[in-house]
Amino acid sequence: MEHYHMNLTLKVWRQKNNAAQGKLESYQVKDISSEMSFLEMFDVLNEQLIAEGKEPIAFDHDCREGICGMCSMYINGQAHGPWQKNTTCQLHMRAFKDGDTIVVEPWRSKAFPVIKDLVVDRSSFDRVIQAGGYISVNTGNAVDANAIPIDKKDADDAFMAAACIGCGACVATCKNGSAMLFVGAKVSQLSLLPQGHPERETRVLNMVAQMDKEGFGNCTNTYACEAECPKGISVANIARLNAEFLKAGLKSE
Amino acid sequence: MTWKQLFSSSIGRKFTMGFTGIFLILFLIVHAGLNACIFLNDHGDTFEAAAHFMSHNWIMRFLEIGLFAGLITHIIQGLMLWMQNNKARPVQYQFNQPSKNSKWYSRSMGILGTLLLLFLVMHLSHFYVQTKMSLYGFAPEKTPADGSHNVLFYEMKEVFSHNWIVALYLIGVISLFWHLFHGFQSAFQTLGLHHKKYSPLINKAGLIYAIIICLLFALMPVSMFMGWIA
């Protein structure tokens, strides 16, 4: 692919803290390489802001390899930007052309309050996991991994669900701010496997109860979450969540 | 988990929407099938007999209570979900491109539903209130000008002789099509059915169902207005 340089106008959401009123600020960046990642372009912008004596833009990032789920930018009206099955850190500047204007906003959800600029607090996801996204295992020697036979399809489906990196793009994208793709994936990866069976029913009930408590919205099956998920988590996991919840809810006393 | 906890949870509410949705989908088959009797072009004789059967036996009257209960539940639950969903995103995006990841009708169920509700108010005032008033003796039964006993058929011809009413009915039917097209497959997903083999079939069945039902409903006012039905 041909290498080129570009000048861009960035409109970035600036917000001092959670209580402050935020707004979009315009910035110019020059001579950006098409081979840079989106976050590297932000590094350039921040260097520029620091040199000008201005406050750099706060944004979340960690591995920059597309596996940690930390980066979280709503770029030009899409979670993680224009590329499919891709995180912000793996979005490269060749997705844009010279003279483009790019709007960057934080995830917007009641359950993800803005901490500063583009950084949001996603600990609501942690509390959903704490409510039941685990299995109880006795301490002692590690059990032989192959001691329990597992159907290949179940293993594959559980693995596909476990690919969720918990970035929150599903919530950010959903018009209802629903977290059901995330919770569906986390419930599925455990309920499909024999190790997850002892807590199967209490898990789904507790995780959904916590999800509701955090103020996430309700799924209306637009499937926008699946389309924007960087790991391509299937909405089949939402159907499984629904079925698991209804079965457990009707059975429970 | 109590019943209250179950049905006030997010998935419980979705279940209520899906379940009542499927119930209303089944009702529309009966409604469209029965009304399609006008296409026999027998001055409404078959249609009137079928309508008479539906309104003059207690089983159907009893089921009608269920129909209204299902409809009202679907509306109220939909409104409550809409309010909850609005609260889930207090600050909107300055720039958003939802068309990049989802279909417009899947995002517009609330608006389509509201249009349907407005349509329904008009529709019931045209055909339901009058018939029920005269059935229970609150209003005199209308007698058709041609001296026949096909009261409801005559009423239809009368209502559908106005072009603006026909236009409003067509808007209602178009709203219904998109509402059903998304709602049909959405209901199965909500009830927990997502399957490599069955889901594509359900999606196709939903499309075929929506086309047939809406085509039948659209043809009723149009054919009466155009005078295709004697």
What are the structural domains, with CATH classification, of chain B?
A: 8-85+107-226 (1.20.1300.10)
CA A83 to CA B189: how far, in whole Å? 27
CB < 8 Å to B12, chain A: 249
Instruction: Please report which confidence band the pLDDT of residue B144 belongs to, taking 50, 70 and 90 as the band edges.
Output: low
Provide mean pLDDT across the span B201-210: 97
Share of chain B above pLDDT 90, in %: 76
Closest chain A C-alpha to B182 CA, distance in angstroms: 9
Token duo for residue B208: 């075929």
pLDDT tens digit string along A222-252?
A: 999 999 999 999 999 999 999 999 999 999 9
Mean residue pLDDT of chain A comes to 96
Token duo for residue A20: 């402050």
* Confidence (pLDDT) at B1: 87
Residue pair B43/B150 in contact (Cβ under 8 Å)? The answer is: yes
Comparing CB atoms, the residue among A103, A217, A244 nearest residue B85 is A217
Provide mean pLDDT across the span B23-33: 96
* Confidence (pLDDT) at B124: 93
Provide mean pLDDT across the span A143-162: 92
CA B147 to CA A219: how far, in whole Å? 54
DSSP-assigned letter for residue B141: P
- Written as one letter, the residue type at B64 is E
Q: What are the strands, taking DSSP E only, across A80-120?
A: 101-105, 114-116, 119-120
Provide mean pLDDT across the span B62-84: 96
Token duo for residue A19: 């209580």
* Confidence (pLDDT) at A165: 97
The residue of chain B nearest to residue A23, with distances taken between CA atoms, is B94
Instruction: Please report which confidence band the pLDDT of residue B146 belongs to, taking 50, 70 and 90 as the band edges.
Output: low
Would you call A109 and B103 a contact, using CB atoms and an 8 Å cutoff? Answer: no
Q: Domains of chain A: which residue ranges?
A: 5-105, 123-251
Mutate to test the interface with B, among A237, A245, A247, A251 (most CBs of B within 10 A): A245
Would you call B11 and A241 a contact, using CB atoms and an 8 Å cutoff? Answer: yes
Would you call A243 and B192 a contact, using CB atoms and an 8 Å cutoff? Answer: yes
Decide if pLDDT at B141 tops 80.
no
DSSP-assigned letter for residue A143: P
B57 forms bridges with which residues in the sheet? none
* Confidence (pLDDT) at B52: 87
Mean residue pLDDT of chain B comes to 92
* Confidence (pLDDT) at B132: 76
Decide if pLDDT at A25 tops 90.
yes
Provide mean pLDDT across the span A44-55: 97
CB < 8 Å to A228, chain B: 101
Would you call A246 and B11 a contact, using CB atoms and an 8 Å cutoff? Answer: yes
Q: What are the strands, taking DSSP E only, across chain A?
A: 5-14, 23-33, 74-75, 78-79, 101-105, 114-116, 119-120
Instruction: Please report which confidence band the pLDDT of residue B128 belongs to, taking 50, 70 and 90 as the band edges.
Output: confident
Decide if pLDDT at B207 tops 80.
yes
Cβ partners under 8 Å of residue A170, min gap 6: A178, A179, A180, A181, A182, A225, A228, A229, A233
CA A228 to CA B167: how far, in whole Å? 39
Using alpha carbons only, what angle is made at residue A79 by residues A74 and A80, rounded to the nearest 5 degrees? 90
CB < 8 Å to A74, chain B: 93
Cβ contacts of A13-16, under 8 Å, gap ≥ 24? A13/A104, A13/A105, A13/A106, A13/A117, A13/A118, A13/B94, A14/A57, A14/A117, A15/A106, A15/A114, A15/A116, A15/A117, A16/A116
Nearest to B224 by CA among B173, B169, B175, B166: B166
Cβ burial, residue B75 (10 Å; 0-12/13-18/19+): middle
Residue pair A1/A44 in contact (Cβ under 8 Å)? The answer is: no
Would you call A240 and B194 a contact, using CB atoms and an 8 Å cutoff? Answer: yes
- Written as one letter, the residue type at B71 is L
The residue of chain B nearest to residue A111, with distances taken between CA atoms, is B88
Token duo for residue A96: 């844009």
Question: What is A123-251's CATH number?
Answer: 1.10.1060.10
Q: What are phi and psi of A6, to 5 degrees?
A: -145, 155
Mutate to test the interface with A, among B77, B101, B112, B189 (most CBs of A within 10 A): B101
Alpha-helical regions (H) of A175-235: 180-191, 200-213, 224-228
Cβ burial, residue A248 (10 Å; 0-12/13-18/19+): buried
More confident residue, B180 or B136: B180
Decide if pLDDT at B137 tops 90.
no
Expressed in percent and rounded to 5, the helix, strand and coil fractions of chain B are 75, 0, 25
More confident residue, B214 or B144: B214
- Written as one letter, the residue type at A133 is G
Residue pair A50/A27 in contact (Cβ under 8 Å)? The answer is: no
pLDDT tens digit string along A81-94?
A: 999 999 999 999 99
The residue of chain B nearest to residue A215, with distances taken between CA atoms, is B88
Cβ partners under 8 Å of residue A171, min gap 6: A107, A109, A111, A112, A177, A178, A179, A182, A216
- Kindly tell me the sign of the dihedral angle through the C-alpha atoms of A84, A86, A89, A93: negative
Closest chain B C-alpha to A144 CA, distance in angstroms: 33
Q: Which of residues 80-109 of B touch A (CB under 8 A)?
A: 81, 84-85, 87-98, 100-103, 106-107, 109
Provide mean pLDDT across the span B151-175: 93
Instruction: Please report which confidence band the pLDDT of residue B147 belongs to, taking 50, 70 and 90 as the band edges.
Output: low
Residue pair B19/B192 in contact (Cβ under 8 Å)? The answer is: no
* Confidence (pLDDT) at B127: 86
Instruction: Please report which confidence band the pLDDT of residue B229 belongs to, taking 50, 70 and 90 as the band edges.
Output: confident
Question: What is A5-105's CATH number?
Answer: 3.10.20.30
* Confidence (pLDDT) at B57: 87
Residue with tokens 């350039």: A44
